[in-house]
Amino acid sequence: MYSDDGVLNVGISRIDNEHQAISELCKKITTAINHSELTDEVKSSVLELTTMVGKHFKEEERLFEPLHLAMEKQHKEEHKVLIGKLASIMEDVDQGRDGLKKKFNDFDDCLQRHISYDFEMKHSSRIPE
């Protein structure tokens, strides 16, 4: 199931709301990067995204942990990889390095695949609404 703007909903309202907020911030960052490789807006938005994604992943792990899902370990590893990608992007922003657009697009693609995986986990398990 997708929301009106194409964000995949997993059917858990607080997770879906977080996915929506993360997706909107990613779109804002992408737009800013497309207009200018590096600005204060990009810096503050990437920092905000890093905080938001970190909190979201902790919430997901808290919800999924008591269910002992088959792919739980892999899911947590994906969280670490995505956080690592964000940390690398933040470092590039801080250092004023080029290539931010490609790196951020790669992160966003990985994040969207991860959200799709959340959807599959929800619909193949006992995760409560």
The CATH number for 56's domain is: 1.20.120.50
User: Which structural domain range is residue 108 located in?
Assistant: 13-123
SS3 content of the chain, % helix, strand, coil (to 5): 75, 0, 20
More confident residue, 91 or 127: 91
Q: Is the residue at 1 inside a domain?
A: no
Residue with tokens 């969280």, as numbered in its chain: 79
Residue 48 has pLDDT above 70, yes or no: yes
The arithmetic mean of pLDDT across residues 2-22, rounded, is: 72
* Rounded mean pLDDT, 39-66: 89
**In this predicted model, which residue has the larger pLDDT, 110 or 126?**
110
Alpha carbons 28 and 119: distance in angstroms, whole number: 24
Q: Is 8 inside a domain boundary?
A: no
Of 5-9, 72-76, 118-122, give the range with the top mean pLDDT. Answer: 72-76
Give whole-number Cα distances, 20 to 10, 90, 96, 98, in Å: 11, 21, 28, 28
pLDDT at res. 3 = 46
Confidence band for 81, pLDDT divided at 50, 70 and 90: very high
In Å, what is the CA distance from 65 to each residue of 2, 22, 61, 69, 75?
A: 25, 22, 6, 8, 11
In a domain, 62, yes or no: yes
Tell whether 50 is covered by a domain.
yes
36 or 118: which carries more pLDDT confidence? 36
Asked if residue 88 has pLDDT above 90, the reply is: yes
Q: Is residue 6 part of a domain?
A: no
CA distance 7 to 32: 20
pLDDT of residue 96: 79
Residues 18 and 111 sit within 8 Å (Cβ to Cβ): no
Q: Is residue 129 part of a domain?
A: no
The arithmetic mean of pLDDT across residues 51-75, rounded, is 85
Domain count, the chain: 1
- Residue 38 has a pLDDT of 67
H or E segment and range at residue 1: none
User: Is residue 60 one of the residues assigned to a domain?
Assistant: yes
- Please check whether residue 19 lies inside any domain of the structure: yes
Burial profile 90-113: b = 16 or more Cβ within 10 angstroms, e = fewer? eebbeeeeeebeebbeebbeebbe
